[in-house]
Structure formats: C-alpha cells, structure tokens
Amino acid sequence: MSKTNFTILRQCEHCGDMFKSQKRTTRFCSHKCNSANYKLRKRQELKKAVEAETKQKLKPKVKAFDLAMIKEKEFLSVAEVSKLFGCSTKTIYRMIEADEIKANNLSQRLTRIRRKDIEKLFETPTKEAPKELTPYNCYRMNEIIKKYNVSRNTIYNYGAKHNIQRLKHNGITYYSKTDIDNLFNP
C-alpha cells in the first residue's frame, strides 16, 4: 500500500458511486465491484465469441467454383437453381408449381430447368404501343348491344372493370373493337 497523505475522489466504473482513493489507477470502490465487473467482462467476451461462431456457421456454403460451374451449364437441377438464386429449394418448387419457371421432370427426383427459362424471369416484358382509336376501329354502344345481346349497364360495368379503351367523338362514345371482342369472345 502506498503511503500518501492525499486522497482522490473518484467514481466507481461498475456501480457509479463516488469513493476516495489513494491511487490514480484505482477503478472500483470495493473488491465486490471489481469482481462483479470482471464477471461482466468475461460474460460479454463469451457472448461475442458465441456470436462470431454463429456468424461463421451462417456464412453461405456456396463456393466460388460451384457458381462458376453452375453458370456454364445449360440445364440445371432445382438445387443448383436455388444456389444461384440464394433461396431454398422449396421456393423453386413453388415457382415451378405456379408456372413462373418452366421445368421438365425427367424422372422421380430428376427435375431440370433450362437456363433460358431462368433468364426469362429477369427480362422485362415490352408492351406494344396501343393503336390509336378512331371511330373506324371502334364499336358504338348500339352495335355492341345488337352484336353481343348485352345491356347498357353490362357494357358500362365491364368497361370500367376491364379498362376498355374509349373514344368520345362528337358526343358519341366509341369502344375499342379489339377490347370488346376479347371480352365477349373468350
């Protein structure tokens, strides 16, 4: 113990209480706080070690050469497609079931997916520019009623529900022939 005649007022790093110390390096007010802080530090170190270990286990197991081999193949298995997408095989089977991906089942447990079909998923469909409506490529209300034997309300309701293109010209409403024909002739 040092023989000094002065005391320093310090704050305990563990409990936060003020205490008198004879050394500049004293960090805790008592042996109890020192031990409690030591145990807390050891718990935090153990927690960090466990978290680091868990993160290490969660890293993707796909190796770079596996992806290179997958990218070269023309026909892929469900497992390879799931590695390529970074999702589960169940997700790929759901996409196949929903006809989002075309797949061929060669035999039991032998489903193959063509690379072109996978690439089609990421292509944006191009919309055709709608034809300009003129009274010549449209029906009038009376023509639709006679041709398809439907009421005015049906035409109004279906027009709003199915976004049928309309043209108003000289106070007459014209409906797109292609939209009407597609609607009433499935």
pLDDT tens-digit readout, 60-100: 665 555 777 777 888 888 888 888 888 899 999 988 888 88
Treating both helix axes as pointing N-terminal to C-terminal, what angle do 141-148 and 177-184 enclose, rounded to 10 degrees? 20
Work out the average pLDDT over 14-34.
92
Distant-in-sequence, close-in-space partners of 45: CB < 8 Å, separation ≥ 6: none
pLDDT for 15: 92
pLDDT tens-digit readout, 144-155: 999 899 998 888
8-9-10 Cα angle (round to 5): 110
Give the ranges where 137-184 is alpha helix by DSSP (H). Answer: 141-148, 152-161, 177-184
pLDDT tens-digit readout, 102-152: 888 888 778 899 988 888 888 776 656 566 788 888 899 899 999 899 998
**How many angstroms separate the CA atoms of 143 and 172, rounded?**
12
What pTM value is reported for the model?
A: 0.37
